[in-house]
Amino acid sequence: MIRGIHGMFYSSKADELRAFLRDKLKLPFTDTGGGWLIFDFEQGDLGVHPTEGEAALSGKHDISFFTDDVEGTVAELQGRGVKFEDEIQDHGYGLVTHFAMPGGVRVQLYQPRYAKKFKAKAKAMPKPRAKKTARALRS
């Protein structure tokens, strides 16, 4: 069973981008060693967009952050020095803006207008049962 999503940013300034995510966005993380930080989220979702008439987009990936209060989050992030590229706009599915991170990584921040199906924190997956060996089955 798939329990979440793991996104990946590719950046020519990986250390700076990790510091931005840690220090500016204040994302919770696990330090896996050697400078590698894995940022942890309580929720995630995934969409699939058609590329009709936009062949150059086919095969590309996009990562967005979502919030329950886009105006409050923008104000908080601006207070930490995050530069936004545009004003908050209503795109139908949510209230949307964008900001840039080190290495030329452009990110959408939005407040969804749709209901999220899973609001509660996911429960830990049950441990698999130990398989009985042939010897145990003969006993």
Structure tokens at 1: 């069973």
Q: pTM to 2 decimals?
A: 0.73
Structure tokens at 132: 């009985």
Residues whose CB falls within 8 Å of the CB of residue 73, separated by 6 or more in sequence, listed in order: 67, 109
d(CA 18, CA 64): 16
- Quick check: is 127 in a domain? no
pLDDT recorded at residue 79: 97
- Quick check: is 61 in a domain? yes
More confident residue, 124 or 90: 90
Q: Write out the DSSP string of 24-87.
A: IS---EEEEETTEEEE--S---------TT-GGGTT----EEE-S-HHHHHHHHHHTTPPBSS-
- Quick check: is 133 in a domain? no
Read off the CATH number of the domain in which 97 is found: 3.10.180.10
**Mean of the per-residue pLDDT values for the chain?**
83
Structure-token match 């997956």, residue found: 125
What total of structural domains would you count in the chain? 1
CB 85 within 8 A of CB 99: yes
For the stretch 10-50, pLDDT in tens is 888 999 999 999 999 999 999 988 888 999 888 888 777 77
- Quick check: is 129 in a domain? no
More confident residue, 86 or 116: 86
d(CA 103, CA 123): 35
Average pLDDT over residues 55-62: 79
Average pLDDT over residues 99-126: 77
